[in-house]
Every structure is written in structure tokens, then in C-alpha cells.
Structure 1
């Protein structure tokens, strides 16, 4: 090899080191965006015991270069568990997001790149998500950042759906429970308006747990939202942790598959 050839090879190596090829480059590919919002069961508490995650990642939650996550700094990175890390104030573990995305890629060949936008915060009530609140503003900001045009071909990222799992905190008192349906409807209408997505698909989850006195009130509001393009999957019967509030890892994986089927069959 001539000295010139050696120099060319060295320059190529230096270029590769300083410009790694990855799905998080300055011009990432077009993505199918899914917003994930709500409280702890959407944030993911699978494998969390005494505020500590066991770090067990099942195959259904595996990393995939075609599944990206919008991190707290609004940058796209290859997604990994815990998906909601850095967004919530509590430790998170396995949630439904990664099983959902992996199921989509398995069931829809050549679907492309999925962009997950975790926005869940544990212990929140529906009133905490109304327009004008910090949580609502955070959700809108992250959704708008996810849609930002960063593609060489000029195409836009598309928000396919909001995956919503919230309501356990609203089962604690009668007033909040009976106001839930109207507040949920207003939240969806405001979000669609502010994102300029009037037909945004919302796939919400009917509660698996909560304070028994008002659990069914919330569930009925979720099962019968009375808004177009809102679907509901029922988490009742999915495996819970010993606290009877949070889904287990198996329960979260099952929920992710239910959400994927609901999206595919929409």
C-alpha cells in the first residue's frame, strides 16, 4: 500500500469515528410518532419494587434501531427501558410502550421507524392535564418537537396516535370521578386543536385498578367517551403487582399488545 493510500484510509477512519452512522443523526428518517401519556401505569412500573427497578428486560421490550425515543432534551435516541426515564418524578420500569412498538414492527412488515414520545407522570389526576397546566404544556411541547421536519426529503414526521392510560387518582373521590368524563373529553378536544390534528386517534385504557368506590364510574367514562376516533382497550384482568394498583411486567407487555392490535385494527 502506498503512503497516499495509507493516508486515505486513515482519513476515512477518522471521519467514521467523528461522524458515526446512527438513527439519531442530524437528519433522521421519517417517523411514525406515538405520544404516550397518563400516570404510573403508562409510565411503567413493571419490575419496580420499593421504588427500585429490577432491570429485567423481557424479549418483548428489546431494543430495536427502528424504535426511537424522544428524550427529555427533545433529542431522538434509540429507545430502551425504562422508556419514561427522566420524564417522571418517580422511578420507572417496564411500561407498555416498548412492547407496543415491538409488536407493531412484528405485525406490520416494513412499517418503518417508530418514534415514541413518553410524557407520563405518576400520581396525576385528569385536572392536572387540562389546557394551561404544566403537564398539558409539556405534552404539547414534546409533541410539536416530535413533528419537527428533520428529514432530507422534506417529509414530516406524523403523529399516528395518543396512547393514554390515566385515571386511578380520580377514583379517590366522588366529585373527581363524576367530573372525569367531561374533563377527559375537553383534554382530547384541546390537544387536537393545539396540535392542529382534529382527527388525532386516541387509544385510551380502561382502568384495571383504583379505589373501588368510584372505579366503575371512571371505567364507564373511559369505555364510553362519546368522541369520534377514540378507542378504548380494557386493562381489567391484566396481571397486577401485589399492591393491586400497578401492572406487573407481564401485565404491561399484555397491554402493549392490546394497544398494538387496537391501532392495527383501527
Structure 2
């Protein structure tokens, strides 16, 4: 008995060390390196940061501000200080840092020399390559990845289990010196984050990055300052732009204090930069979290049916979603007290879950509206479980889950609206017209599924009309549907007084017949239900919040996000 006690006591320190620790990867050029002077920080900051450690390529060291070297030169600091003081964690925090002053991301650069053309081997840049084996990976990316991997191994050697929580990036000044590298920055920033996530073997890597060159006028060498700052802003997940990167947040550095060179941040500017990066990272930890809609069996499928993970068709489309999910984006800034449940489109065969899901959620979350993305069941096959009312069951369950989480996320459960795109627009219209019906297999039926409002973006607005979208109709009802089923899925035949108000936006010459949106709006008018209809003089369909490089002159309908935002605020 005594021996057992002694063994237990002896192993307690080991067991404690084996606990998980939070790891953040920090990379970039000179403003990540940091040349702010520690002596200029107020004395109250010169202290040990509890349970926080830093690794810069040699040994892991406890972070003691003013004593632990965190930049290339003693007495200097980067954003790691403000980040460490503000990152939220109930576990030890490890910062793995790599920086290379004056260095580019774009593969056209070799150090400070522009070569252009296709990526080439052995160039000095942060280009991450297209695959793990890509011979054109930049020297600096290889060095940064090596630093991170060695840091992870050093943490393991101490007996801990490292959990990589996020990536902090501060770079771009060098890329602003060339039009090509400035105008393609968002694309390469996404590639960097995605490649790094794969190389360090994580499926989820939130990223925070700083916007460079806040000073106006910029020094002459930064010839494309406006271009790169615009690209950085577009890459923010909440930008509403097609360049938006999932789980990526930009920190605007306007007003941050600078050194006399007008490029680098002084100690207070670096402290502010790191603090804002940590606050954004704290929020990202709760964003994009996904869970199954149904805790057990998915209703509508046979009892012995085994749901499978979805099939990824390309980076923006999935199918075979027999295990429907819901993803949450909590409100940022000042919450409006509202929530939005989002249904991507894809003809009930696929889901455009990025441009019509995640990007939309991030956009409205940044405007104070907690947003949920529902990946409802779709298939390219003929399994009956995917047909009506299957997708509607998923949509209604998404509304219930959203309302049940209202207290946790700080919104009013009576102010939950729905939005859908194309076939998802049809699904949203079903939520707004058939909320009083009941279906077999539903859960939490004491929670109302009536939405506060519905937004239909280039919707499939009818199932019964001769010009209705045949692909969606066949996917939902088969090739020989019953007329009564089609009528029961045609919102223009279902609208009644006191139904939720609706917002509709579509191009006039959309291949999914826009005349049906007119007919639906007339049905709402006849029922005396508020309806805001926007018909734009264009012909595009399936553009989400806009295609890359698309302007309002090319597609006027991409004005809908701000119009809807105003509509939602009025719906309070």
C-alpha cells in the first residue's frame, strides 16, 4: 500500500506536465520581429507573464517582460508582449516565433529582388508552395516551418501535449513594392495559412494578421501601398468580399504609434498591435465551431442508415451531407440582439458552403448578428432520406438550436431570422411559411421554428410553376413528383397574414426565373405581409456576396448584403 502511494506521488509531476498546452505560431517580417524599445514601456508591464513561454529557436523560456529576449536584439519587442498579456486561456500558453526582416510572401520575389514569373526553387520568400513536397517553397517558409516544428517537439520533450490554437502574421511591406505581389496578396495569404495548417497537421487554424503601412503619405519605395492594404482588408473573413479567408481577422493599425521611420511601430504601437491581435484571436476561438444537428439518428433515414462525413468536391462545394451540421459565428463588437440562420444553395445536390455560408456568417457576425450556417442534407444520388421533407427537418432543427443557444450568445430567441441562396432560398421560404406544420422525427418541438424574418437571395421561388428550377425539383421530389407535394412546397401558395416579413434579391435575367420572385412578392402583398423586393438589371446567379474582381457595375446585385443589413435592423 505504501509503495503504491509513493509511486502515485512520484508520478504526479509527470501527470501534471502531460496536460495540454495552448500553442500560437507567430511569423512575419520586421514588425513581427519588433524594434520597439522595452525601456519605453511603462514599468508596470515589466513582469513575468503567468504560465506563458516563448520559443525562438533555442530553448523554451518563461516570458518575463524586460528580461526574456523576444526579438532579434536585446531590449526590443514585437507584438508578442501585448499578445501574451491579452490572450485568454486556462492552460499554459506557448508562443513559437519566427521573423525575417524585409522579406516577401509572393513567390515572384527573391529577397528584395523581383524576378516575377512562375515560382522557382531556392528563392528567399515566405511562399508556402502548393503541396508539402513542392520544390518551390520559399527558403523563409521552410525556415519558419522548421522553427515551429522544432518548437512543438521541444514542448513535447517537456512532457506536454501541444494544441495549436492559432497563427499570428505581421508582414506585407515588401510585397507592397510591386503591383503583382500587392494585388495578389489575399490569394497568397490564404495559401500560406492553409498550407501551414496542413504542414503542422491541424484541421482548424484561426489566423490574425495586421494591416501594414498605416502612415500617409507612404515612403516612395512602397509604391503599391493602397493595393496591398485593400487586399488585406478583403482577406478579412468579415469583408463580404470573395477574397475573404475563413477564420481570418485583420487588425487595422491606423492610429498605432510609429517610430520616426513611419514604418515600424514603437513600443506602445507594438503593445497595441499585440493586444488587438490577442483580442481578435480570443473571438476566433469561438467562431466557426461546428457540431452535428442531430445528436443521434438523423430523421428521415432508415434506422440502420450510417451517416457519413460530407464529400468535398472542391474548396467551395460539398455534397453527400448525410450528417447535417451547424456552425456558429458569435456576434462581434456591439451585438444587435439578433441572429441569422444561413442555408447555402446548390440545387439540393451540393452546397456552396463557403461563399453562401461561412462568408455570409462572418460578414453579419462582424455587424453584431450571431450567425449560424446549416449544412443540410444534399446528395447527387437518389436516397429517399435526402428528399423532402429531409432538408426542411434540418433547417428547422438549425432554428431550434440557434434559439436554444440565445442566452449563451446574447441574442433574443424571438429575433432569429433565416437566409437562403438559390435552393437554400427555397428552403428559407419553407421555414417562413410552414413553421406551423409538424413532421415525424423532430426534436425539441417545444421550441418554435417560426423565424422573425426571411431573406431569399436569387431563390428557387416555386416548385409548382412551369418555369421553376427543374434540377432542384427533381433532387427534392424525384422525377415524377405528386402535384400536391409540389403545391405544399411552393411558398407563393402558402403565404398568410401575420407571416414573417421577407426580403428578396435577384437579378432580372437570372437563369433561375426571376419572374417567380415577382409572383412571390405579389403573394406577400396580397396577404398584407411586408416584403422588400430588389430586382437588379443583371443576369448572374450563384455569386454569393460577389465573385473575385466583380464590381457593382458588372453585377449590381452584389449590393444586396448592405441592403439586407438595413432590413434586418428594421426587423427588430
Separation (CA, whole Å) in 2 of partners of 1:129 and 1:158: 24
1:206 aligns with 2:211: yes
Give the Å deviation of 1:125. 0.8
- The answer for unaligned runs of 5 or more in structure 2 is 1-16, 107-124, 129-136, 236-243, 285-572
- Residue of structure 2 in register with 1:222 after alignment: 232
Sort the Cα spacing of 1:229 and 1:219 in 2 relative to 1 into closer, same or farther, 3 A: same
- The answer for unaligned runs of 5 or more in structure 1 is 1-26, 48-53
Q: Greater CA deviation, 241-250 or 136-145?
A: 136-145
Separation (CA, whole Å) in 2 of partners of 1:168 and 1:91: 24
Once the two structures are superposed, residues 147-168 of structure 1 have per-residue CA deviations (whole angstroms, 9 ceiling, x without a partner) of 333465xx62111111101001
SS at match of 1:31: strand
Sort the Cα spacing of 1:181 and 1:91 in 2 relative to 1 into closer, same or farther, 3 A: farther
RMSD between aligned residues: 2.6
Q: Is the 8 A contact 2:168 2:207 kept in 1?
A: yes
1:243 aligns with 2:226: no
1:254 aligns with 2:272: yes
Q: How does 1:109-258 map to 2 (within 5 A)?
A: 111-127=90-106, 128-131=125-128, 132-148=137-153, 149-150=156-157, 152=159, 156-207=161-212, 208-209=214-215, 211=219, 213-225=223-235, 226-258=244-276
Higher RCO by CA contacts (8 Å cutoff, separation 6 or greater): 1
Give the Å deviation of 1:222. 1.3
Give the alignment's TM-score, normalised by structure 1.
0.75
Separation (CA, whole Å) in 1 of partners of 2:60 and 2:18: 8
Once the two structures are superposed, residues 191-224 of structure 1 have per-residue CA deviations (whole angstroms, 9 ceiling, x without a partner) of 1121122320111111135545411211121122
Separation (CA, whole Å) in 2 of partners of 1:92 and 1:41: 15
Give the Å deviation of 1:188. 1.6
Once the two structures are superposed, residues 114-167 of structure 1 have per-residue CA deviations (whole angstroms, 9 ceiling, x without a partner) of 101110111111131012222111222222233333465xx6211111110100
> How many residues in Structure 1 have an aligned counterpart in Structure 2?
225
Give the alignment's TM-score, normalised by structure 2.
0.37
- Residue of structure 1 in register with 2:342 after alignment: none
Q: Is the 8 A contact 2:34 2:76 kept in 1?
A: yes
Q: Is the 8 A contact 1:83 1:97 kept in 2?
A: no
Report which of the two has the higher share of helix.
1
Larger Rg: 2
